[in-house]
Structure 1
């Protein structure tokens, strides 16, 4: 049909939603039809994509190993229609029907896998979608959106996504769900690579350690996502985290001091051990290395402490975990 190009933004979601259908026969049929559509589009637009055809077999660096890269025609179809698809995703991901929200969140990951680095052009509305969807009570919706966030980390350069996301972390738009920017940030960082994240470790760590980020909220969910961000940095960058060891230790101490969940406190303590391990230290040596700075950090506000001050609880954690190091340092 000659006028089918005008309906691509309506046809693409129909096909790509079926690629992840529960029925195997429908998944296979949809994948085959989508591949044929991409090949036909390539033939009809060969002159426009001649330069891109030369790089057909060169996927972006750090491309996910567990998936097969879609063909050029399929990717171009998504890229050229993504501007009209994102608003529709934003609408349907908050639909009152759970199946609609689940299918829409699945579709989002498929679209980003096709869009690759072109995701950058739509990053702001996509982040708004993810923040909203991660408040969903349906776990499948949240998990699918976090998988999409991981693809953002894979395809979008860290300077671009950090500029937007760290602002959201320091000033969450929702007081009811302040942890969603941290949740999405952890997923995005998980999709990045060590080489690309390393130059930005200082910026991320300095943001996480800010009082309005690590001391403002005491909800278990918030502290869990704060810990998730630290853990992602530790596992992604490992020994490179030595340059921000103090900031990460401060965040981990704060999580333990504010947490009312014993399991979360235990996880934070395990992260302290891992932080010391990646630097070739034991936890006591880690505290020995940073004790003077930790005490300066706390003493800066000591004149304003009350029985409810988080600094008092932070000092308690440091004293309990540092052993004799604290006494030796004061001596």
Structure 2
């Protein structure tokens, strides 16, 4: 009995094996991920700066977008810098508390992305379907309340899953075939009964994600019917263009998250899971600013002013 307890508590750290064990591939992935991380930070910072400096963009839609950009920067910063540092220092280890901390913040920001996309869909629904009442419905107080409520629920949700993970025991195998502490990878390594963890991810976590997705879909169904009644072709195009960028982000985010966490574990493979998690942890935060800015004239104008101001200040 004493030996079994010793074995169960033997793992005090994990080894993050990364995406490849081939030196040449590691060098390529280091440059690729560094470039993507810099693009993510720079793109989202520019959006935040453009929105904060242009008074015309001080509206609910851009308030939510600036919050989404902040979350995307934080989202990427929980995993990529650690992977880059590990590559430079040629190390793989991460402590058990460090692993749980990384998992906590990563999935807190996943939840925040989830909630902000739903809030942004509701904002577009009010703007398109109730334009005359938009300013009275989407008040600054309500906008701040929705974002603050999202932070509270996101923290409570991931706190539950982190505490459930902390109660598990881990035996001899401490190798994670990933570049961060993913909850699915940790559950596979545990020698405890993970049934409760998996059920909570599927039902409680799934409920939160699916509820937000349903809210988004219902909002856009109403938006579509409202736009189709607009007599002007130009008006229809403007409305669909604004909403189209949001739907592109929604499809990419939910498609990858559902593929990893809300499908049967029997259908998973480590290679497939790694590719899918890279999509939502690295690619999506990088693409968001480009998707939103390329299809938005007001935001492109504000970004142009910021870049011109920077150019003149350096001359």
Using the size of structure 1 for normalisation, the TM-score is 0.21
Highest relative contact order (Cα 8 Å, sep 6+), 1 or 2?
Answer: 2
Using the size of structure 2 for normalisation, the TM-score is 0.22
